[in-house]
Amino acid sequence: MIEEKPVVAYFSMEFALEEGMPTYAGGLGVLAGDTVRAAADLQVPMVGVTLLHRKGYFYQRLDSDGRQIEEPVRWPVDDFLQEQPQRVEVSIEGRPVRLRAWKYEVKGVNGFVVPVYFLDSDLPENSEWDRALTDYLYGGDEHYRLCQEVLLGIGGVRMLRALGYTDIARFHMNEGHSAMLTLELLRESAQAAGRTEVTSEDIERVRRQCVFTTHTPVMAGHDRFALEHVRRVLGDCKPLVEHQHVLCLGTELNMTYLALSLSHFVNGVAKKHAEISRHMFAEYQIDAITNGVHVASWASPHFQALFDKYIPGWREDNFSLRYALSIPADEVWAAHRAAKRDLLVHVNRETNAGMDMDILTIGFARRATAYKRADLLFRDLERLRAIATKVGRLQIIYAGKAHPRDHEGKSLIQRIFRASEALKNDIRIVYMPNYDVELARLLIPGVDVWLNTPQPPLEASGTSGMKAAVNGVPSLSILDGWWIEGCIEGVTGWAIGERVDATAPQPDRSDRDAAALYEKLEKVVVPLFYTQRERFIDVMRHAIALNGSFFNTHRMLQQYVVKAYFE
């Protein structure tokens, strides 16, 4: 297959494409999926590349104390993907590892197709160990991860060539995991010039082709491998040997620096995150393109129907959600009630929690990890109990997985279980297991308020609040990541506390933040919900009109097209 137009190759370690395909862990994969869906809608020629993840990230069970139990996911790959006949080879520790690709077609609103290829090393000619290399997303040890990144970056480029993609305008690295693709492009460039050594011309040529989106606001979050280790896996990789001073940090290969050094366009995922990244990587120019969500994928069926009725064309053009201000308040409320009913029926069936349609329902779902502070709401149980019994009743729905090695994250889940036990006579609280896209689609539109309590400045962007906005669910959030841009106090939602102007992690301010959260709930959000319903619905409409119309992947992709792809 030969493409007629130059394409953008979008590389991501994870992709969330469809319920039933466990090929993602969280926000990064959802962003990748929403990006290719936007490309298909806007007819931007793009092709996605990732690993197959035959065993997924993991299936999460929670025991009665909230202890997380992880199981490999089983999924029938050929029910979702079509095997391609091409095979390519990548050398790992001197062994040839063969790869095949499976294809998924993302169809846009007018039928335009963006394919995504899933690389798979599970072939009989590979050794047992190599066959398992594309099994687990973010599993295994550092060596496993390095080998996976070699397959994704180098194997990915080779597979695209084998599939007939000779004219690729841009290689977009969604986070540093795929940065090895630059090494393959350098090799290709030298080879095309009839050389074996890589020159600075090759580096310039590759740089013009590459785009890098960084997602991690702390140094410790970036993948690094000892150069020794990389040499053992890759063999004598010419570019690394000849240009170590450009491509490596001393004796380390830092995937972020590799991507930074070889990209002509680099961006952070929100304005604040770009600012932090500029401090972390002072010698690079870093732009900001704030993340978004694919509206048609995240609006509940009830809001889809409402938009179809009042804003025809919104699927082709997400900007038109601006007109949500003119949707009658009672119809917005009815659509929201319908989404809430879908959620509560599901929650009650699964947990027997007895959740009630008329109670203000707070939602919180994201990766269970320390900086997200899922338990901030439980800092002072008596204060929370007093709000729920004196100001207005509350019920709370949680979800989120902890990475298998994140012990702090796991104990966070247990703390929420203990708090819900302590509060059970006054506040119904459930923790739904196995947070995934399917649950997110029910949970986010179905709650009344979407809570987010990260410790600034660690939330690079966050996207679940954007999914909430599309469904008229206002955010109550710490001012970090996208919410710094999205929050208009009392208009699109509410801030917790003041903005912290820090570019590095700060001393713990959880007591102050919790106090601000209680204050805002008690004085503003709960009274508004129960006693000024009209005004509450007005906030819902503004969340859609001001934030849904902007924090979407149609806007995001157009910014990539103008600034990074076809500039």
Ligand X SMILES: *Cc1c(COP(=O)(O)O)cnc(C)c1O
Q: Which residues bind ligand X (CB under 6 A)?
A: 26-27, 30, 366-367, 435-437, 440, 462-464, 467
Residue 189 or 369 having the CB closest to ligand X: 369
Minimum distance from residue 537 beta carbon to ligand X (Å): 24
Nearer to ligand X, 178 or 461 (CB): 461
**Nearest partner of 121 among 90, 89, 98, judged by Cα:** 98
Smallest separation, CB 556 to ligand X (Å): 14
Annotate 214-243 with b (16+ C-beta within 10 A) or e (fewer). Answer: bbbbeeeebbbbebeebeebbeebbbbebb
258 token code pair = 């590799």
d(CA 41, CA 61): 36
Q: Which is nearer to ligand X, 26 or 115 (CB)?
A: 26
Q: Left (φ > 0), alpha (ψ -120 to 50) or beta: where does 255 sit?
A: alpha
To ligand X, the closest distance from the beta carbon of 306 in angstroms equals 22
What span, in angstroms and rounded, lies between the C-alpha atoms of 548 and 295? 8
Nearer to ligand X, 26 or 156 (CB): 26
Min dist CB 110 to ligand X, Å, is 25
Q: Which position has the token pair 């370690």? A: 13
**Do residues 100 and 158 touch, judged by C-beta distance below 8 A?**
no
Cis peptide leading into 454, omega within 30 of 0? no
Measured over the CA atoms of residue 245, residue 251, residue 255 and residue 256, the dihedral's sign is: negative
Write down the least CB distance from residue 464 to ligand X, Å: 3
Task: Outline where 325-399 has alpha helix (H).
Answer: 329-351, 381-386
> Could you tell me the two tokens for 495?
């801030």
Shortest Cβ distance from residue 440 to ligand X (Å)? 3
Helix (H) or strand (E) holding 210: strand 210-213
Residues 6+ apart with CB under 8 A from 425: none
Nearer to ligand X, 29 or 45 (CB): 29
Residues 6+ apart with CB under 8 A from 294: 33, 34, 37, 38, 41, 552, 553, 554
Q: Which is nearer to ligand X, 156 or 493 (CB)?
A: 493
CA atoms of 223 and 175, how far apart (whole Å): 10
Q: What is d(CA 520, CA 526) in angstroms, rounded to the nearest whole number?
A: 8
Among 443, 419, 447, 422, which residue's Cα sits nearest to residue 432?
443
C-beta closer to ligand X: residue 215 or 336: 215
Shortest distance, CB of residue 59 to ligand X, whole angstroms?
A: 13
Least separation in angstroms between CB 202 and ligand X: 37
Q: What is the H or E stretch that residue 357 is in?
A: none
State the nearest-atom distance from the C-beta of 403 to ligand X, in Å.
12
DSSP designation for 57: S
Shorter beta-carbon distance to ligand X: residue 331 or 485: 485
Q: Which amino acid is at 169?
A: A
Closest to ligand X by CB, 66 or 363: 363
Nearer to ligand X, 367 or 509 (CB): 367
DSSP 353: -
CB of 366 to ligand X, least distance (A): 3
Tell me how far, at minimum, the Cβ of 465 lies from ligand X, in Å: 6
Nearer to ligand X, 55 or 366 (CB): 366
The Cα–Cα gap between 421 and 65 comes to 10
CB of 439 to ligand X, least distance (A): 7
Q: Residue 463 CB, nearest distance to ligand X (Å)?
A: 4
Q: For ligand X, give the closer residue by CB, 130 or 436.
A: 436
Between 385 and 555, name the residue whose CB sits nearer to ligand X: 555
Say how far apart CA 339 and CA 347 lie, in whole Å. Answer: 12
Among the listed residues 447, 445, 441, the one whose alpha carbon sits nearest the alpha carbon of residue 363 = 447
Say if residues 134 and 55 touch (Cβ distance below 8 Å): no
Rg of the chain taking only CA atoms, in angstroms? 24
**What stretch of H or E contains 186?**
helix 181-192
Taking the CB of residue 534, how many other CB atoms lie within 10 A of it? 10
